[in-house]
Structure 1
Amino acid sequence: MKIRYLLSTFLFLSLFMHLTVEWIVPFCETTSSYWYLANKRKISSNAKVLVLGDSQIVSGVTPNLVAEIEGVTVDEVLYLPKPSQQPEGILADSLEVIQKFPKLKRVYVNLSPLNTSKNSVTDANRQLFFSFGNFSLNTIAHPLLRKAYFPNLTDLSWKWIIELFPYFGLSSNLNRLVYDPIAQMDIPRRKQEFQYIDESMEMSQGSWIWKSIGDDPTLNDLEEFPNHSSQILAGKRDLSILIWFDFLRLWNQQNVEVIFLRVPFSPKMEKDILKTKANLVADEFFKTITSDANQKKVAVFDFKSVFLSEYQYFGDLTHLNQKGRDAFSKILKKKLFDHTHSSSEGM
């Protein structure tokens, strides 16, 4: 009788949490809201072009732009970037869509020091996956994904617990609301951002100027960027590089071209990255894949130096604002249009 009562209680709690979690997510920080709403993206079965990556893509590259470059309809662009995304998430998403969309001919993805090194974004991505990520067989069966997400049974058990009781996935957000006055004061803005992200999912597959709630945030060129603070990005995360190579192998087997983009950071950040040589790992990876005769369907477009003086093009240290997106769109169209159409002729 006690066991039955206990099971009934757990079932009720699980059902209650699943039914009410959407009321609580708007109080979470921006990245959590985006990941939660990304699960509601409308996905077309006609996709010919896939777009993956992190919030730099979300803020800087739109499905409409990709459709224009590729000469396809927006309905034929599958747009799946997520903030704080890492190569393990990009590989997991690739494995999910590769069988569902046989018409895919090209994949766009961004690679930068943020997803080749071990840094705070790496840890954030793991927590976001546990809280909101798709718990698929691939994340357990694929050895590299298993190493990234479930290196031990404790992690696997924790993901199961969050799947059953989703409030646990929001715990870090909710805890801060209890003790952090800054988080409490930020609630009205968080709720507005949730609405704007929700609208972006409905209207443009999640393309959204980062942190914009109807305005165009602009970075102040007087804002301090501590010298050598990008030093942590100079290290190489070996698992990330292994996953990137596996990502390429996967799409190469499908005869699908991969286009790597290096989306620019803000001027002071890019200049500091030059000092700390944080670009070396990504540059070495790009050099390896473009010089490999077996990698015939891969291209690299590096734009890290295009906006070294244009502070007004950035909403913060890492994201383009609307002015920046417009300027970057012109550059992308000029650089990629001839490549994509000449490549398509050979397909």
Structure 2
Amino acid sequence: MKTRYFISTLIFLSLFMHLTIEWIIPFCETTSAYWYLAKERHYSEKTKVLVFGDSQIVSGVSPSLVAELEGVSLEEVLYLPKPSEQPEGILNESLELIPNLPNLKKIYVNLSPLNTSKNSITDAHKQLFLAFGNFNGNTILHPLLRRAYFSNLTDISWKVIVEIFPYFGISSNINRYVYDKSTQMDLSQRKEEFLSIKQSMEKEKGSWVWKSIGNDPTLNESEEFPNLNTAILAGRRELSMSIWSECLQVWEKQNLDVVFLRIPFSPKMEKDILQTKADVVGEEFLKTVLVGPHRSKVVVLDFKSVFLNEYQYFADLTHLNQKGRDALSSILKKKLFDYTHSSSEGM
């Protein structure tokens, strides 16, 4: 009798959490809200262009721009970037989706020190995956994905618990409601951001100027960032590089063209990256790609130096604002036009 009562209680709690979590998500921090809403994005077999990446893509490159660049309809662009995305997330979605996209021709993806090194974003991505990510066979059976997500029994146990009791996936957010006064004061702002992201999912497939709520946030040149130190980004995360190589192999098997983007950070961050040589790992990887067997299918467009003095183009340390997005769009159109034109002449 006690066992039956216990099981019934667990089932009730699970149902209650699944039915009510959408009431709590609007008050979670921005990245959690985005990941939750991103689960509503669906693929179409008409897809010809697939876009992967992190919040730099979300803020800097819209699906409508990609559609214009490639001469396809907006419906034919599958836009899947997420904040704190890492190569393991891109590989996971590639393995799951690409076999179901018979018309797919090209992939756009951004590569930066944030997804080639071991840093706080790497850890954040794993926690976001455990809370909101798609739990499928690839994440367990593929050796690289298993290393990234389920390196021990605790990880997989936690993922199972979150799937059954989703409140555990947002426990850190819930805890902050109780003890963090700054979070309590920020709840209305979070609700507005949630609604803005939701609207972007419905109208722009998730493209959203980061932290923008009906305005265009602009970075002040005089603003100081006392914790700015990109030295940690100079390190090489071997698992990331192995996964990037695996991604290329998956894309090559499907005969897909790939456009690697290096979207600019704010001037202060780019200058710090230059000093710490945090870009070296990614640059070495791309050089290897461009002289290797993949070279005929890969284009690298590096924009890290285009806005070194343009503070007005940034919303914060790492994200372009609307002015910056518009400026990058113009540069990207010209770059791809010049590349296509020169390639045609050489044929």
User: Hey, what does 1:267 align to over in structure 2?
Assistant: 267
1:234-313 equivalences in 2 (<5 Å)? 234-313=234-313
Matched with 1:132 is: 132
Q: Which residue does the alignment assign to 1:335?
A: 335
Match status 1:182 vs 2:178:
no
Shift, 1:224, TM fit: 1.2
Query: Does the aligned pair in 1 maintain the 2:252–2:294 contact within 8 Å?
Result: no
Aligned 8 A contact 1:225 1:269 in 2: no
Q: 1:167: which partner in 2?
A: 167
* Aligned residue identity for 1:261: L
- Residues 179-212 of structure 1: per-residue CA shift (max 9 Å, x gap): 1111111100100000010010000100000000
Local SS of the residue matching 1:261: strand
How much has 1:223 moved relative to structure 2? Answer: 1.0
**Cα deviation, residue 102, structure 1:** 1.1
Query: 1:18 corresponds to which residue?
Result: 18
In 2, are the aligned partners of 1:59 and 1:210 still within 8 Å (CA)?
yes
Structure 1 residues 1-347: aligned runs within 5 Å = 1-226=1-226, 229-339=229-339
TM-score, length-normalised on structure 2?
Answer: 0.97
How far off its partner does 1:345 sit?
A: 12
Where in structure 1 do 4 or more consecutive aligned residues deviate above 2 Å? 42-45, 225-228, 293-296, 337-346
How far apart are the structure 1 equivalents of 2:13 and 2:295? 51
Gaps of 5+ in 1: none
Q: Is the 8 A contact 2:28 2:173 kept in 1?
A: yes
Distance 2:281 2:161 in 1: 37
Mark the CA change 1:340 to 1:19 in structure 2 (over 3 Å): closer, same or farther.
farther
Q: Is the 8 A contact 2:63 2:79 kept in 1?
A: yes
> Per-residue displacement from partner, 1:132-152 (whole Å, max 9, x unpaired)?
000011111110000000011
For 1:342 and 1:20, how far apart are their aligned partners in 2?
55
Unpaired runs of 5+ residues, structure 2, are: none
Q: 1:344 to 1:254 in 2, by over 3 A?
A: farther
Aligned Cα root-mean-square deviation (Å): 1.6
Bigger CA drift: 291-300 or 205-214? 291-300
Alignment coverage as a number of residue pairs: 346
Contact 1:70/1:337 (8 A) holds in 2: no
Structure 1's 340 and 67: CA in aligned 2 closer, same or farther, altered over 3 A?
A: farther
Against the structure 1 CA distance between its residues 345 and 93, is the aligned structure 2 distance closer, same or farther, given a 3 Å change threshold?
farther
TM-superposition CA deviations, 1:216-247 (whole Å, max 9, x none): 00011111134871111010000000000000
More divergent stretch after superposition (173-182 vs 319-328): 173-182
CA 1:343 to 1:108, structure 2 compared with 1: closer, same or farther past 3 Å? farther
Superposed CA offset, 1:256-310 (max 9, x none) = 0111000000000000000000010011011110011344211111000000000
Equivalent residue letter for 2:171? S
Moved more, 292-301 or 324-333: 292-301
| CA distance in structure 2 between the partners assigned to 1:76 and 1:341 by the alignment | 24
Alpha-carbon contact 1:60-1:324 (below 8 Å) kept? yes
SS at match of 1:50: strand
Give TM-score scaled by structure 1 length. Answer: 0.97
Residues 53-92 of structure 1 deviation map (CA, whole Å, 9 limit, x = unaligned)? 0000000000000000000000000000000000000111
Q: CA deviation at 1:45?
A: 2.5
Instruction: Give the secondary structure class of the aligned counterpart of 2:162.
Output: helix
How far apart are 1:105 and its partner, in Å? 0.4
Structure 1 stretch 220-229 or stretch 140-149: which is displaced more?
220-229
What is the one-letter code of the residue matched to 1:313? Answer: Y
Contact 1:67 1:74 in 2 (8 A): yes
- Cα deviation, 1:7-55, whole Å, max 9, x if unaligned, reads 1111110000000000000110000000000001243321000000000
